[in-house]
Chain A
Amino acid sequence: MNQRDDFRESLQRDNARQDRGEQAPAGLFGLLMYGGTLGLLLVIPMVGGAYFGRWLDSLNAEFGTRWTVSFIILGVVAGIWNMVWYIRGRS
């Protein structure tokens, strides 16, 4: 077998391997990792926003929830944006 045949064969093998990888459904571990990452991307800015808003509210003499609610909403928006960015990066 000459060098060209070797090259051709390895290229076909790699192509077939990638086809199989693209067609194969994600395993349970893969799904857990993907779902977990998406969840964290959504939850972290939300919880961070809630804590930051609560701290801002606590600085006021009249304790309110205006900043807490505002930063939770901001966190949700940031989390959704994070998820979209992550999904687009993976696809």
Chain B
Amino acid sequence: MTPFTLVLMDCTRKEQIDGAHSFVATDRSGRFGLQAGHETFVTCLQPGLARYKTDDSHWHYIAQPGATLWFHNNRLQLMTTQFVLSDSRQQLLHLLETRWQQESETQDTTLRNVTQMEQALARRLWEMNQQGGQL
């Protein structure tokens, strides 16, 4: 079976999978499948699960919160805000929760740093003001 290339993109990363044989996902019209040699195709995927099969004949799963799909010249591109890949669909939710937790922690740390910087800047401005406004 002729393979095609699957490219997954979100805000921070890009994954390229060569040798995909079959792709199954859901859009507003329902579930559909794509194989190599399909004519140019554009659609918007519904949030949830998509899957693809590679040379090893196993399904690999993609969790995505809605994506734009573009198939052209045996190259399938999925553009989304975030995605998680796994060979086991039971693990996807766990991976997603872990990622969200990490993102929240990063966000908290960034927010704390910004607050500290603001406080330091305000203190420095106050000190400068006390010293007569000299830099």
Contacts and interface: CB of A to CB of B under 8 A. Distances in A.
A11 B49 contact: yes
B96 A15 contact: no
How extensive is the interface on chain B, given as a class?
Answer: 10 to 19
A18 B93 CA distance: 15
Interface residues of A, number: 14
Contacts of A62: none
B33 interface: no
Given A3-B65, A14-B48, A8 B93 contact: yes
B100 interface: yes
User: Is chain B's interface secondary structure helix, strand, loop, or mixed overall?
Assistant: mixed
- The interface centre, meaning the residue of B46, B49, B96, B100 with most chain A CB atoms within 10 A of its CB, is B49
Contact of B57 (A3, A8, A18, A89): A89
Interface of B: 26, 46-49, 57, 63, 65, 89-90, 92-93, 96, 100
Interface of A: 3-4, 6-8, 10-15, 18, 88-89
Given A3-B65, A8-B96, A89-B57, 10 more contacts: A7-B47, A10-B47, A11-B48, A11-B49, A13-B48, A14-B49, A15-B49, A15-B89, A15-B92, A18-B89
